[in-house]
Amino acid sequence: MPHDLVIRGGKIVDGTGAEPFIGDLAIDNNEIVAVGEVSESGTKEIDATGHIVTPGFIDGHTHLDAQIAWDPMVTPSTNHGVTTVLLGNCGVTFAPCKPEHREKLAGMMETVEDIPKHAIMSGLSWNWDQYGDYLDYLEESKPAVNVVGLVGHCAIRYYVMGDRAVDELATDEEIEQMAELVDKAVKAGAIGFSTSRVEGHRIPDGRPVPGTFSSEEELCRFAEIVRDNGGGLMQTVLGIEGDLVNNTTRITDLLRKIAEVGGNRLMTNTSVAIGWPARDGSQDGKVLHERFAELAKDGHDVTGGCIPRGSGYIFGFCNELPIRTPAWRELKKKDFDDRVAALDDAEFYDRLIAEAREVLDGKKPEGGALNRSKAIFWLGNGPHPDWAADNSKNLSNLAADAGEHVIETFLRISKESKGKAIFVMRVFNGDTDALTDWMKSEHCLPGLGDAGAHVGQVMDATWATHVLGYWTRDRGVYSLTEGIRRMTSQPAHVIGITDRGTLEVGKRADVNVIDYEKVGQYLPEYVHDFPNGAGRYTQPGCGFKATICNGEIVTEDDQLTGARPGRILRGGKAD
């Protein structure tokens, strides 16, 4: 009998950290049945000669909780080799949920994660109450990739405390009621629990999200519940900002308290060189490594997720404009084509420059992002974005080199590109050397792309191709084996996925076949494909001969096939 699928002659990088080797891989149904030399034929065969064969990539930080319902192809994650995604990060989830709280949770997801509320309300059925019901709903949507979920603190608190969840401490009785909901969610398949302590995460009325100021005892009680269900993931956002050298003690103290409950893995968000203009972040990567190493030395399984590039806010004529004066507000009201056409109106063009110069030279708030021109970088005019441009290429220096004001440079580049130019303001990870130090740490998990969130502000869901193309192939910070491990078996361990993440007999068949020399990404695009025509950034990938999820080909030659074989990994596995 032939195998369902045989991948032949590729360089197998199995995700374990072992040295690559040339070989074949056979798949029957949704399982890897042979790795090495396969003599039997396949009903379908893929010639992987000259390509690498890897496990499917695992994205440990997404907010696809809403998008996956109306975009079961889960773009652009599937275009970048991702075959498994973790939902429910940062404490914001849609379950458990009483009917009267639906608008509140949708509004919270909009203000925290920049997912349009009207898209959420119209794009979801909302036919669930408990977390397990929500997983059933996702299962019925038949996604193209596998889904793992965390139950969020905000939803848990609202379910028990109503509007008191935002500002008040929970009583002992309420903590136990919430603990019962966490227990029910984990038993129904949640891999763990998530929370946010970031004061900048706000609900629509401006107050911090529920749980921001909850007691440490409350968090530790939920950690006990997760532990008592066999151990799982406690995901936190702890607001690492400002001077990391002097600010890590309180952060690591809370991490330690949660970790000392025992039996769980703990993941939090990390960044280096935060803010604008970027402060001296030269020691940030080393400090983060030292603090996490101290926790690890004491036996705690703690990991820091990190965006593998400078990021924070992208903009251009396709979406957000960086100035807020009358002429620029007039420009903002136009659609894309009319915005570009307006640049040919000499009088209007001069108004744009004059008003912008006035506010930028005075550093007035109306200057928006361009007030921070030293932290702004043009992604370039080639087919592939230059995410790693050095400081000589920031907007301030580009303007100086051209003998222009920064607003003249911004408008000139926008006009020359016919409005397609995209700029990134590096709010996070503005110091490449500091980021390199942290990326090298065994406690760092590259990712944190926020797929499905901040849809009009960032495009970091493509983190995997950046890790493989930039940090591994181009920079050599990771060897090929280490770069693949960081995107496969490492996140599988952190999340608690037990049936995939390596290319081994008996594991589920999530596989990438990649042209390593060509793998990368094209420039971000702004599209209107969310419910009610809402817009978002997306970004095509390149170099993927095939991405296979549960034995079915999801992408072939960088194009989606339409197959939707994803599974809900309850408790970290499909069955």
Which class for 159: exposed (0-12), middle (13-18), buried (19 or more C-beta within 10 A)? buried
Q: How far apart are CA 549 and CA 145, in angstroms?
A: 6
Q: What pLDDT sits at residue 249?
A: 66
Whether residue 29 contacts residue 55, with contact meaning beta carbons closer than 8 Å, is answered with no
- Ordered structural domains, the chain, with CATH: 3-56+543-559 (2.30.40.10), 57-313+444-496 (3.20.20.140), 318-428 (no CATH)
Report angle CA 454, 459, 464 to the nearest 5 degrees: 125
- What region, left, alpha or beta, does residue 189 occupy, with left being phi > 0 and alpha being psi -120 to 50 degrees? left
Q: What pLDDT sits at residue 2?
A: 95
Whether residue 508 contacts residue 30, with contact meaning beta carbons closer than 8 Å, is answered with yes
| CB-based burial, 117-138: b 16+ in 10 Å, e otherwise | bebbbebbebebebbbebbebb
Question: Beta strands 52-55 and 21-28: pairing type?
Answer: unpaired
Does the CA dihedral 280-271-420-514 come out positive or negative?
A: positive
Q: How far apart are CA 480 and CA 464, in angstroms?
A: 13
Q: Which helix (H) or strand (E) holds 159?
A: helix 153-161
Q: How far apart are CA 276 and CA 293, in angstroms?
A: 28
Q: What pLDDT sits at residue 198?
A: 85
Which class for 445: exposed (0-12), middle (13-18), buried (19 or more C-beta within 10 A)? buried
At CB < 8 A and 24+ separation, what contacts does 110-113 make?
A: 110/204, 111/202, 111/203, 111/204, 112/196, 112/201, 112/202, 112/203, 112/209, 113/63, 113/450, 113/452, 113/453, 113/454
Task: Name the residue among 548, 483, 532 with its Cα closest to residue 308.
Answer: 483
Q: What pLDDT sits at residue 405?
A: 97
* Helix, strand, coil shares, percent, the chain, to 5: 40, 20, 40
Start-to-end CA span in the chain (Å): 26
3 state SS of 507: coil
Residue with tokens 């590729």: 10
- Please identify every stretch of the chain with a pLDDT value under 70, giving residue numbers as ranges: 239-250, 275-280
pTM of the complete model: 0.96
Question: Beta strands 544-549 and 552-556: pairing type?
Answer: antiparallel
7: its two tokens: 């991948």
Q: How far apart are CA 515 and CA 178, in angstroms?
A: 48
Report angle CA 386, 529, 324 to the nearest 5 degrees: 60
